[in-house]
Amino acid sequence: MTQQAFRPVHHRPEPVDARRRPEVDPHRWPDVARVPEAPLRAAVAERLLRRVARRRGLRVELPDGRTMAPAPAGAPVLRLHRPDAFLRRVGSTGLIGFGEAYQAGDWDSPDLVALLTELATAPETLVPTGAQWLRRLYVPRKPPAELPSTANSRRNISRHYDLSNELFALFLDPTMTYSSALFPTNADGRPLARWDNLATAQHHKIDRLLDLARVGHGTRVLEIGTGWGELALRAAARGARVVSLTLSAEQLDLARRRIADAGLSGRAEVRLCDYRAAEGRYDAVLSVEMIEAVGRPYWPDYFTTIDRVLAPGGRAALQAITMPHDRMLASSDTYTWILKYIFPGGLIPSVQAIAQTAARHTGLRLTHRSAWGPHYAETLRLWRERFTARTDEVTDLGFDRVFQRMWELYLAYSEAGFRTGYLDVQQLLLTRPQEDR
């Protein structure tokens, strides 16, 4: 069953103890409310969980105080409140069931990031090599209705970005930038990330991308994926003329207001427009963490659009979340919890896939890249801490406890991916080498 898009209801639920099941509305959350009848698959899931606990040194705690296997002191903790429901969900739908079990309150952890970081380390080894074929039995395919075609993309984008501008404002910094920041580093090269320098680090990231594309006075800029308008504002303040495209009605309204309030409406225009319908010629095309929503079948469309609108001598500068190429190939047809509940229709690319797609379908070539995955882990930590500290305000906006647990898991899961190096974030420059002088 495909989860329906969340629509907030404006009421405050009763406080929920960590060991009690959150109230689950079966109309809003049908697959969270339903526990599958799958005793045989639950038995297989239990055996796999015991194996993972032993091999990874996890402390799996049961409701009666026992543990599934011995664990070293300080081991990451998976605390099962309803083991039977947890195992039936995981046995039926794998990682989707794992996520739905967290939403339902079937399990918790005193340090969610530590637990997920351990599980995200070499995830391909969690299931024994000889049992990998079992994935075909429980991993569903992506629903055709969520493929990011021209017909579906606006609905996909709306499910995440049109939830509420006020929701995003609760945990983002005042720049309303929803992508990795680039922090100053200490002598060891580790990011120095604090809430009070997050906005400055976001501007540093944006300015670095603008410099990479050589954006200055008079530059004609196309931005694919507006966000809430901060990049368009920074580019326009340099004297560029910016057209920015979005499919989010909520982002469109706020970005336009922010541009008008800054007195830059004459230099920056935001349009509700699919990237495939982009028109005009531009000296620079910029796109920050938007390619992840494009979907693998449509990567050629994305790059041919950039190639089509890029003027001779122009430069395309992208910021992209990336993953290793072999893991991208292994997961490209898999329907995951993140796709079902957070980012429908997307796929995180590899650098190799980006370079190959651009070279195969356009005259563009990848000519520069820089990566800073640990900075995204710290960005996500700051967002997660702020989100979890403001749950009363999230509730006041009409988002129930199941939604809040969903977002807590999403932010922690993403942070863990960057902490292990399974995910990275990169700024990439694409040019036509024969024109780039």
Compute φ and ψ for 404, nearest 5 degrees: -65, -40
Last residue of a domain, which of 105, 120, 140? Answer: 140
Is there a contact between 35 and 105 (Cβ–Cβ < 8 Å)? no
Residue 329 lies in a domain: yes
- Closest to 42 in 3D by CA, of 80, 104, 84: 84
Interstrand relation of 59-61 and 310-322 (parallel, antiparallel or unpaired): unpaired
pLDDT recorded at residue 133: 45
Q: Are 266 and 388 members of one domain? A: yes
Last residue of a domain, which of 125, 140, 155? Answer: 140
Residue 10 lies in a domain: no
pLDDT recorded at residue 437: 57
Residue 251 lies in a domain: yes
Low-confidence ranges of the chain (pLDDT < 50): 1-19, 129-133
Residue 296 lies in a domain: yes
- Cβ atoms < 10 Å from Cβ of 323: 21
Q: Are 329 and 416 members of one domain? A: yes
Q: Are 417 and 296 members of one domain? A: yes
Q: Are 205 and 238 members of one domain? A: yes
Interstrand relation of 241-246 and 268-272 (parallel, antiparallel or unpaired): parallel
> CA-to-CA distance for 353 and 328, rounded, in angstroms?
9
| Structure token pair of residue 18 | 């960590």
Q: pLDDT tens digits, residue range 256-312? A: 999 999 999 999 999 999 999 999 999 999 999 999 999 999 999 999 999 999 999
Q: Which domain range does residue 156 map to?
A: 146-431
pLDDT recorded at residue 1: 40
Helix/strand/coil (H/E/C) assignment for every residue in the chain: CCCCCCCCCCCCCCCCCCCCCCCCCCCCCHHHHCCCCCHHHHHHHHHHHHHHHHHHCCEEECCCCCECCCCCCCCCEEEECCHHHHHHHHHHHHHHHHHHHHHHCCEECCCHHHHHHHHHCCHHHCCCHHHHHHHHHHCCECCHHHCCCHHHHHHHHHHHHCCCHHHHHHHCCCCCCCCCCCCCECCCCCECCCHHHHHHHHHHHHHHHHHHCCCCCCCEEEEECCCCCHHHHHHHHCCCEEEEEECCHHHHHHHHHHHHHCCCCCCEEEEECCHHHCCCCEEEEEEECCHHHCCHHHHHHHHHHHHHHEEEEEEEEEEEEECCHHHHHHHCCECCHHHHHCCCCCCCCCHHHHHHHHHHHCCCEEEEEEECHHHHHHHHHHHHHHHHHCHHHHHHCCCCHHHHHHHHHHHHHHHHHHHHCCCEEEEEEEECCCCCC
Indicate the burial class of 332 (C-beta count within 10 angstroms; 0-12, 13-18, 19 or more): middle
Q: Are 66 and 162 members of one domain? A: no
Is there a contact between 52 and 126 (Cβ–Cβ < 8 Å)? yes
Residue 11 lies in a domain: no
Residue 3 lies in a domain: no
Q: Are 129 and 153 members of one domain? A: no
- Closest to 6 in 3D by CA, of 178, 172, 140, 164: 164
Residue 21 lies in a domain: no
Residue 67 lies in a domain: yes
Number of structural domains the chain divides into: 2
Q: pLDDT tens digits, residue range 157-198? A: 999 999 999 999 999 999 999 999 999 999 998 999 999 999
Residue type at 335 in one-letter notation:
Y
Q: Are 101 and 182 members of one domain? A: no
Q: Are 242 and 342 members of one domain? A: yes
